[in-house]
Structure 1
């Protein structure tokens, strides 16, 4: 497989995983508010981790293929830091928030951080949508 073909496959896998992970997050956030029992289903607990693994592996593949390493490329460093913030907010929003109000606020904040991550990815600028 050529490098160009591998890039196209990895990027499509990465972007597709981003879309699926966003959809699953929004679905789970809605269930957290309106139907919390649905969050206990086995597939709801397992599938997001599988998708996020594909997302992370495809991102690592793109980094290895193209060479823009976090710490060297400011935009990629910003994405990684924002990803950690998104994970923390998502965990608070879906599981660890002590009240429903805190969970909803954390989910909204996680979605805003997600939008920032996408804007950084599209612009290759650490300021993303604030540039």
Structure 2
């Protein structure tokens, strides 16, 4: 891939994206896992009593992500990721509730007959995310 006239590949691309100044962050599995651990810790100490976290909980998660990942995350980035994860979770639960849909724990995949995917995608466009992973 060419970015700013230079050929870059693989990890170099991720580094360029992660360090951009536009506030966007590409989340890899280790970052997502660290964020989920931070959220779980805040729930355990009571910093999430409603649908979201209290200000102290968000502050703790910003600190926790810096400790776990070694990178400063903005509150805006964490809130955005929280909202995306929430939407994905709701879509996943809804997909599993559909008739004829299963989940293979060993493979970590949703099991659906190939010809059913187009119909499911009409029900909820977010279902497509779970088609291959």
TM-score, length-scaled by structure 1: 0.31
Structure number with greater CO (CA < 8 Å, separation at least 6) is: 1
TM-score, length-scaled by structure 2: 0.30
Quick check: which one's helix share is greater? Answer: 1
Quick check: which one's strand share is greater? Answer: 2
